[in-house]
Structure formats: C-alpha cells, structure tokens
C-alpha cells in the first residue's frame, strides 16, 4: 500500500466523534482558499537557495542546517503537528524509508511549529528515529514560503475538536506550514520540492531516492 493509499483510507474512515456536518464545508473552503491563493506556487522550489536554519530538536539541542550539510544532503519534512493524523501517517512512512535515505548519505529532519514537548510526543507516538525540530512562530516555514494564517471559521473547528493550534504551538499566531518536503544539496540548492496546500495529499517517500542518488553522483 502506498502512502497516498493509506491517507485515502484514513480519509474514508469514520470521522472524529465531535466532527459536525457543518465542519466539512469549512474544511473544503479552507483548502480551496489556500489553493486559490497561489501560495504553494510561490513557495521555494527546485533550483532556489534554501534558507539556513538553527532550530531546537525535541530535546532542546540546537540543530544547524549548515552543520548537517557538511555531512551530506538534508531531507526536510514540514508538518502541521501531532494532532494531524495525515501528518502522523506521513511521518511513519518517512520512518520506514529512513534506512534508504541514510544509505544515500542524507539526513532526515522534520519541522513543525509546535512546542518541543509536542514534538517529543510526535516522535514517541510515531516511533521516529530522526530529529523533530521546533520552528516556533514559523519563521523558517515562512522563509520557505509555507506559513499561512488559519481563517477564523477554521479556528472554530479546531476549538470544537479540542485542538486549538495555539495550545500545540505555544504562541498565538494561528499559523501553520503547508505540508512540504525538500531535498537540500550540500550547496544549499534545493534539489527536490513538493508542496501541497491540500493536507490530505503527500508525496511518496520513494520519490526522494532518485534525487538523492543523483546528488551522490
């Protein structure tokens, strides 16, 4: 089963017990509005220089992209948070591919705007063996062109479902990154990018392998 097959199966499963009928159209409007904004097309893409970053991991240790690039390419996965089942399914798929990624000389990290405590929870509950970095306020996500503001009607959905974003992120901006996956070469040039404003769609981890093979020469 592919990653997208798993995501589609989850999407077809019974909804959250607190999910009300009126929430469906709100979710649809949120996704369609983000698509219509064109923000995904403006995000960093192949050939662009990736911004450098220094972010704390789930234990508070600072991770520097410059240091990682000394060892080889970086695979970066931006995700929304531990509260997002689609993100958790993707993180598990990336974990399953971790050995293949490392065998190609690359380092995998995930980045979210949530607190270190919630990143620890993401790592523990998904049995992840790669670092999960905390981009509080989403400044790195914004530098990649991924950060967006959740509209008010969608904020109310999060509140009703018991997951107000500020509680997870530890700040009040009500922003998230669009799900995005990048391969950054040692020269900081982006060799692969996949950004989708529809959070129910994610690329296959195996899509990374030809790119990493090419970077190894």
Q: What is the CATH number of the domain that holds 33?
A: 3.40.30.10
CA nearest to 128, candidates 160, 91, 177: 91
Instruction: Output DSSP code: residue 63.
Output: E
**Gap between the Cα atoms of 39 and 75, Å rounded:** 21
Distance of CA 61 to the CA centre of its chain: 20
| Count of structural domains within the chain | 1
Where does 153-189 show beta strands of DSSP type E? 175-177, 180-184
**What is the predicted pLDDT for the residue at 71?**
97
The structure's pTM equals 0.96
Domain that holds residue 84: 3-216
DSSP 109: E
At residue 163 the predicted structure's pLDDT band, cuts being 50, 70 and 90, is confident
CA 29 to chain centre: 21
pLDDT digits (tens, 9 = 90+) for 45-89: 999 999 999 999 999 999 999 999 999 999 999 999 999 999 999
pLDDT score of 162 more than 90: no
């Amino acid at each position: 089963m592919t990653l997208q097959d798993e995501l589609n199966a989850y999407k077809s499963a019974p909804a959250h017990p607190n999910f009300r009928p009126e929430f469906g159209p709100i979710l649809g409007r949120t996704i369609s509005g983000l698509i219509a904004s064109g923000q995904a097309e403006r995000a960093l893409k192949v050939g662009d220089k990736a911004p450098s970053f220094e972010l704390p991991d789930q234990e508070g240790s600072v991770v520097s992209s410059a240091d990682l690039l000394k060892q080889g390419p970086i695979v970066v996965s931006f995700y929304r948070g531990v509260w997002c089942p689609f993100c958790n399914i993707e993180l598990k798929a990336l974990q399953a591919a971790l050995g293949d990624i490392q065998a190609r000389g690359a380092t995998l990290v995930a980045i979210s705007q949530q607190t270190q405590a919630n990143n620890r929870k993401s790592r523990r509950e998904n049995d992840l063996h790669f670092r999960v970095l905390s981009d509080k306020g989403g400044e790195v996500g914004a530098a990649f062109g991924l950060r967006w503001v959740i509209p008010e009607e969608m904020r109310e959905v999060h509140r009703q479902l018991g997951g107000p974003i500020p509680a997870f992120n530890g700040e009040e901006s009500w922003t998230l990154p669009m799900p995005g996956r990048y391969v950054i070469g040692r020269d900081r040039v982006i060799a692969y990018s996949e950004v989708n404003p529809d959070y129910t769609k994610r690329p296959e981890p195996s899509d990374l392998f030809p790119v990493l093979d090419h970077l190894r020469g």
